[in-house]
């Protein structure tokens, strides 16, 4: 297929649209050929979901495991998708599922019945709008074969909501680890970034982000933590947190930044593990 997106060790998206014979039996013929080829090559079975977009294809691939083929048409939304639990939507996790249940929303159909504004009120602008689109089976994301990364980020959702004051030490350690992980990702993949940002999600599901752009590019954990800490000081920390994230954006390949010699020494002046050295003088939580 001309368009295939690798999603990890055991998952891919394939665009059948322009593949000769790709629409035969709604895509079932080509799905069988894929299953046969994978089995002959690896001895492994796989399940295939065929649908108009990535969101529905992902959901339908779960229907007939193992080694099944499921085909979903746009007209099947009400009969096959809406009766499912909201958690079947890839991206709605346990906490969001619990919150929806507390609002008497359990199935995807019940989610689709909610007004977009109501969802935004309860889950924030981005998440609420996305939930509404997902419940109606809408997903405009293309199958991406290859692209330069726009940003690199690490985030974590806590097992329990944490408070910036009462759980200061725990949050500080998590924050440092995320900065180290972003730095390690940049260095491993050969990139440097100029914009450092943070993401917080509160216990009411509202999210906030803050970014700061540097004068130089960096992949240094200590620098990332320092700048991310400055971003953190620009957000309210009076509510409990359920998610914390750190990102680096405005990326270019290491060695290609303007003023190469000076910037590169700044970007790689210390290894990722050195972020912990800044905790004592920059206690953020």
Cα–chain center distance at 76: 27
Please confirm, yes or no, whether 74 is among the known catalytic residues. no
Write out the two tokens for 228: 């991310």
Query: Which of 11, 25, 74, 98 is the catalytic position?
Result: 11
Q: Which residue in 224, 223, 218, 251 sits closest to 151, CA to CA?
A: 251
- Domains in the chain: ranges and CATH: 1-73 (3.30.70.270), 82-145 (1.10.150.20), 151-278 (3.30.1490.100)
110 and 88 Cβ atoms separated by less than 8 Å = no
* Total residues found in the chain within this entry: 285
pTM equals 0.56
Question: Rounded to an integer, what distance in angstroms lies between the CA atom of residue 161 and that of residue 201?
Answer: 10
Instruction: Find the angle CA(74)-CA(80)-CA(83) to the nearest 5 degrees.
Output: 125
Q: What is the pLDDT along the chain (285 residues), one digit of tens a residue?
A: 668 787 766 888 889 888 888 788 888 998 999 999 999 999 999 999 999 999 999 999 999 888 999 999 999 999 999 999 999 998 898 889 999 999 999 999 999 999 999 999 999 999 999 999 999 999 998 887 766 678 999 999 998 999 988 899 999 999 999 999 999 999 999 999 999 999 999 999 999 999 999 989 999 999 999 999 999 999 999 999 999 999 999 999 998 876 654 433 333 434 444 454 443 334 555
């Amino acid at each position: 297929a001309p368009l295939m997106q690798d999603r990890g060790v055991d998952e891919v998206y394939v665009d059948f649209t322009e593949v000769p014979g790709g629409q035969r039996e709604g895509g079932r013929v080509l799905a069988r050929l894929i299953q046969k080829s994978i089995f002959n090559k690896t001895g492994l079975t796989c399940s295939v979901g065929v649908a108009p977009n990535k969101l529905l294809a992902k959901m339908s691939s779960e229907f007939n495991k193992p080694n099944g083929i499921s085909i979903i048409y746009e007209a099947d939304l009400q009969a096959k998708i809406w009766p499912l639990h909201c958690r079947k939507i890839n991206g709605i996790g346990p906490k969001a599922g619990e919150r929806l249940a507390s609002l008497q929303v359990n199935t995807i159909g019940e989610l689709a019945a909610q007004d977009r504004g109501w969802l935004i009120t309860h889950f924030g602008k981005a998440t609420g709008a996305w939930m509404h689109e997902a419940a109606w089976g809408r997903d405009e994301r293309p199958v991406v074969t290859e692209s330069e990364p726009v940003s690199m980020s690490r985030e974590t959702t806590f097992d329990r909501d944490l408070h910036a004051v009462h759980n200061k030490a725990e949050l500080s350690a998590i924050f440092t680890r995320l900065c180290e992980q972003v730095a390690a990702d940049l260095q491993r993949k050969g990139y440097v970034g100029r914009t450092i940002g943070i993401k917080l999600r509160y216990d009411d599901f509202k999210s906030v982000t803050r970014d700061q752009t540097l004068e130089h590019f960096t992949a240094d954990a200590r620098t990332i933590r320092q700048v991310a800490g400055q971003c953190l000081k620009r957000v309210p920390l009076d509510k409990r947190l359920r998610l914390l994230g750190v990102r680096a954006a405005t990326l270019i390949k290491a060695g290609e930044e303007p003023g190469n010699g000076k910037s590169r020494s700044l970007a790689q002046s210390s290894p990722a593990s050195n972020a912990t050295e800044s905790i004592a003088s920059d206690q953020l939580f």
